[in-house]
A and B are shown apart, each in its own frame.
Chain A
Amino acid sequence: MSTLQHARPAPVGGSMFNATTLVCCMLIAVTATIILVRLFFGLSSTTNVNDGYSWGIWVVVDVFIGSALACGGFSMALLVYIFNKGKYHPLVRPALLGSLFGYTLAGAAITFDLGRWWNFWHIFWPGYFNVNSVMFEVAACITLYIIVMWIEFSPVFLERLGLRDARRKLEKVLFIFIALGVVLPMMHQASLGTMLVVMGGQVNPLWQTPIQPLIYLLSAIMLGYGVILFESCVAASAYRREIEVSLLNPMARVMLGIMALFLVVRFTDLVVRGVIGQAFAPTCVALTFWVENACLLGTFLLIGTTEARRNPARLFLAGIAVMLSGIMLRLNGFLIAFDTGPGWNYFPSVPELLVTIGIFAAEVFGYIYITRRFPVLPREETYAQPAHR
């Protein structure tokens, strides 16, 4: 396989001071302030969560959606290391970086949503933890995965710091962490779907099924590819680099395959359980169901042909459509189609929204910092120079 020649990753370089990083820092500062208020005055001081909707966007968006959008690293590792598609190797590091930030910040975000956060260690303490709990499985697995990802990514730091011996030693055993980095997200991304099962009839039948773990797992994998499409296009345009269409094109085809499988599983389940009729009822929930699925059908229309997949704009839009569908799948199950009875309403408050935005800003800032200072993105040979050189 040594015939494959990749451009080696290199730091993009350039200044950290620009409009984007400045805005990010401001958003992060606002977020930090709101979190302080929450810690001193309780959840109701900053959020609109209530006993009917006890999980607001800090859980559903920051953690459930945030971690699913951070599946790029997992999806690429699956393709490159498990299915041995070495040609995609240049996409691994940037994807892993996105995942690293997505998950680390999701982990941080859940901490201040916890009502009794100082007891957080109980989840890892044998005297306390409950192996029957889906939440336990998710929490333990995500924590382990965050640690595994930092180890997987550490060669980048070692490379930059010139610690070649340490790097070589680590790379000898890296395959163990790569395998863990595939199995752990498979486990908890599936369990995020199982999380709905215990909620029983409160969740609309369109999203309440015992095969939820399979649906969420397939969704997470295709979201991973969708995010890479999106990230690659954004990174290329922000850094004025060439888009890796020769890699994104076949990768998008893999994504379409998984998407087809997902749709077959999803609709077979609805038909077998005899609830497909609810999708045609004149309700809001049926509408959001179709938004969720129209995004996937739209992706087939956008990039169904090889020719279409050579068009970066179409790849970019397809990435957004896939992300939107994954976002809707999770929003629907946990918030929109979750009904705890009359009288309960939830819409996030402004501070709540600002924190979620701040978390994404922190991800963007971290991504910019690491790609500018550490060897993550493939080195550009002859094309446009980085903008802020």
Chain B
Amino acid sequence: MPADIPDTRTEVNCRRKFLESCMGAAGTALVASAISVRVEARDTYQRPPEALGLLYDATLCIGCKACVAACKQANDNPAEFSTTDKLWDTPLDTSGYTFNIIKMYRSGTMATKDDETNGYAFMKTSCMHCADPSCVSACPVTAMTKDPKTGIVAYDAEACVGCRYCVVACPFGIPKYQYDSPTGKIGKCELCRHRYKEGHYSACAEVCPTGATLYGRTSDLLSEAKRRLALKPGSVTTYPRGNLSGGPDQSYEGYVGNYKQHIYGETEYGGTQVLKLSAVDFEKVGMPYLSPNSSASTSETIQHTLYGGLLAPFAVLGVMTYVAKRNVHHEDDAPADKPGKE
């Protein structure tokens, strides 16, 4: 049993060594921070110039859900039921098997469309294809990737370990997992990239009867959105349908909605490739407030500062190894010929 009253000489010795160790630790911290300074903060990524995306204009949406059905078909997803008769595909939210859904905002008597009070409005929920996606930053095995040219955020089930950090990380709650399957995958919109080689584009935009969901280059979609916001509410204008950046002209004339002067996705988290217009406040229709700085950039700045090139960890390890080598001989205090057996 160790004595309660310590040997004074040892204690002094201990204290000196303790101080030395503290200075060693402080030195490590200095070295580490000196190295860290050179690691630059990771800026929020911006959209690539040829980025592809969608423009969803809630004032044009009639809630027909043709896009929901087309998305199911294009992605080969099974129907999901929320009614007892189980006759129709009636998902209440996106899921591992539903990548696109139209939700409804309801207020009071629901008398007029696109009215915040006593009105109703629609909102599309699907992947926003962020310029700086949290899911891509979170994924430990590069199963979530952002195409450098099209900017499409794609998922590779073959790489995925199913940790679901992407599900937790996404501010829009988009990547979703198939919990009912022993081999479940993540399900999310990939902008129908698998249909491009057949000459198709995003199924939701292809079938949208009013052009509420429009496909195209995000730069073109952004100009179109700005054009609409500049128009006088109630005036008449031309609305394109289908593919804004190519394809046949399917435009028609319609009335200009009472837009909020905010293009959702223009700057949120550095911008998204899917843009949205609405007459109802975006937070009320489920689109969260997001700062222009992405959380992915904050997270990666921390990671690169602490672990960039593994310089800081190795510096700390070096000091720790030195200190441990000096101190570790306590281990052998007892003579080796007295093995600790009963």
Which A residues are CB-close (under 8 A) to B163?
Answer: 114-115, 135
- Contact of A201 (CB < 8 Å), options: B14, B186, B289, B321: B289
- Given known A54-B164, A246-B4, contact A159–B185 (CB-CB < 8 A): no
- Given known A7-B1, A116-B183, contact A89–B142 (CB-CB < 8 A): no
Which A residues are CB-close (under 8 A) to B332?
Answer: 171
Closest to A121 in B: B161
Interface locus among B109-117, B168-176, B195-203, B253-261: B168-176
- Contact of B161 (CB < 8 Å), options: A11, A80, A117, A200: A117
Q: Is A366 among interface residues, defined by CB-CB distance under 8 A?
A: no
Distance between Cα atoms of A4 and B9 in the complex (Å): 11
Min Cβ gap A353→B in Å is: 18
- Contact of B18 (CB < 8 Å), options: A85, A194, A200, A381: A85
- Are B179 and A43 closer than 8 Å at their CB atoms? yes
Mark each residue of chain A from 86 to 122: 1 if its CB lies under 8 Å from any CB of chain B, else 0: 1101100000000000000000000000111101101
- Are B340 and A375 closer than 8 Å at their CB atoms? yes
- Are B317 and A133 closer than 8 Å at their CB atoms? no
Question: What total of chain B residues lie within 8 Å of the partner, measured CB to CB?
Answer: 86
- Are A178 and B160 closer than 8 Å at their CB atoms? no
- Are B182 and A39 closer than 8 Å at their CB atoms? yes
- Are A190 and B182 closer than 8 Å at their CB atoms? no
Min Cβ gap A121→B in Å is: 9
Interface residues of B in 1-43 (CB under 8 A from A): 1-2, 4, 6-7, 9-10, 13-14, 17-18, 21-22, 25
Q: Is B67 among interface residues, defined by CB-CB distance under 8 A?
A: no
- Are A54 and B168 closer than 8 Å at their CB atoms? yes
Q: Is B140 among interface residues, defined by CB-CB distance under 8 A?
A: yes
Which B residues are CB-close (under 8 A) to A199?
Answer: 134, 168-169, 295
Q: Is B73 among interface residues, defined by CB-CB distance under 8 A?
A: no
Distance between Cα atoms of A41 and B93 in the complex (Å): 23
Q: Is A273 among interface residues, defined by CB-CB distance under 8 A?
A: no
Closest to A202 in B: B171
Min Cβ gap A375→B in Å is: 4
- Given known A133-B137, A135-B165, contact A10–B176 (CB-CB < 8 A): no
Which A residues are CB-close (under 8 A) to B307?
Answer: 131, 137, 187
Which A residues are CB-close (under 8 A) to B292?
Answer: none
Min Cβ gap B153→A in Å is: 14
- Given known A51-B176, A129-B142, contact A82–B298 (CB-CB < 8 A): no
- Are A246 and B164 closer than 8 Å at their CB atoms? no
Min Cβ gap B5→A in Å is: 10
Q: Is B333 among interface residues, defined by CB-CB distance under 8 A?
A: yes
- Are A83 and B161 closer than 8 Å at their CB atoms? no
- Given known A117-B162, A130-B140, A133-B140, contact A3–B21 (CB-CB < 8 A): no
Q: Is B70 among interface residues, defined by CB-CB distance under 8 A?
A: no
Mark each residue of chain B from 279 to 302: 1 if its CB lies under 8 Å from any CB of chain A, else 0: 000000010111000011011101
Which B residues are CB-close (under 8 A) to A242?
Answer: 1
Interface locus among A160-168, A260-268, A278-286, A320-328: A160-168
- Are B2 and A122 closer than 8 Å at their CB atoms? no
- Given known A122-B161, A186-B316, A197-B302, contact A42–B179 (CB-CB < 8 A): yes
Closest to B7 in A: A3
Q: Is B159 among interface residues, defined by CB-CB distance under 8 A?
A: yes
Min Cβ gap B132→A in Å is: 11
Min Cβ gap A246→B in Å is: 5
Distance between Cα atoms of A361 and B239 in the complex (Å): 65
Min Cβ gap B142→A in Å is: 5
- Are A81 and B328 closer than 8 Å at their CB atoms? yes
Which B residues are CB-close (under 8 A) to A174?
Answer: 328, 331
Min Cβ gap A126→B in Å is: 11
- Are A168 and B336 closer than 8 Å at their CB atoms? yes
Which B residues are CB-close (under 8 A) to A182?
Answer: 320, 324
- Are B342 and A116 closer than 8 Å at their CB atoms? no
Q: Is A44 among interface residues, defined by CB-CB distance under 8 A?
A: yes
Distance between Cα atoms of A83 and B167 in the complex (Å): 42
Closest to A177 in B: B324
Question: What total of chain A residues lie within 8 Å of the partner, measured CB to CB?
Answer: 93
- Are A198 and B296 closer than 8 Å at their CB atoms? yes
Distance between Cα atoms of A123 and B160 in the complex (Å): 10
Closest to A136 in B: B140
Which B residues are CB-close (under 8 A) to A49?
Answer: 179
Min Cβ gap A61→B in Å is: 15
Q: Is A364 among interface residues, defined by CB-CB distance under 8 A?
A: no
Interface residues of A in 133-173 (CB under 8 A from B): 133-137, 139, 155, 159-160, 162, 164, 168, 171
Which A residues are CB-close (under 8 A) to B182?
Answer: 39-42
- Are A132 and B137 closer than 8 Å at their CB atoms? yes
Q: Is A6 among interface residues, defined by CB-CB distance under 8 A?
A: yes
Distance between Cα atoms of A187 and B320 in the complex (Å): 13
- Are A162 and B339 closer than 8 Å at their CB atoms? yes
Distance between Cα atoms of A134 and B316 in the complex (Å): 20
Min Cβ gap A40→B in Å is: 6
- Are A86 and B14 closer than 8 Å at their CB atoms? yes
- Are B2 and A87 closer than 8 Å at their CB atoms? yes
Q: Is B139 among interface residues, defined by CB-CB distance under 8 A?
A: yes
Q: Is B59 among interface residues, defined by CB-CB distance under 8 A?
A: no
Closest to B16 in A: A84
Q: Is B86 among interface residues, defined by CB-CB distance under 8 A?
A: no
- Identify the 9 closest CB pairs spanning chains A and B, nearest first: A115-B162, A116-B162, A200-B295, A44-B179, A136-B140, A179-B320, A375-B340, A179-B321, A54-B167
* Given A133-B137, A187-B306; 16 other pairs, CB 8 A cutoff: A1-B10, A42-B182, A51-B96, A51-B167, A84-B17, A85-B14, A87-B6, A114-B162, A115-B184, A115-B186, A119-B161, A132-B303, A135-B140, A136-B140, A168-B336, A175-B325
Can you name 17 A-B pairs with beta carbons within 8 Å?
A: A13-B342, A41-B180, A42-B184, A54-B164, A83-B18, A87-B2, A132-B304, A133-B140, A135-B140, A137-B307, A164-B339, A179-B324, A198-B169, A198-B295, A199-B169, A200-B134, A341-B288
A interface residues (Cβ-Cβ under 8 A, vs B): 1-11, 13, 39-45, 47, 49-52, 54-55, 80-87, 89-90, 114-117, 119-120, 122-123, 128-137, 139, 155, 159-160, 162, 164, 168, 171, 174-176, 178-180, 182-183, 186-187, 190-191, 194-195, 197-202, 210, 213, 242, 246-247, 340-341, 343, 375, 379, 381
B interface residues (Cβ-Cβ under 8 A, vs A): 1-2, 4, 6-7, 9-10, 13-14, 17-18, 21-22, 25, 93, 95-96, 134, 137-142, 157-165, 167-169, 171, 173, 176-186, 286, 288-290, 295-296, 298-300, 302-304, 306-307, 313, 316-317, 320-321, 323-334, 336, 338-342
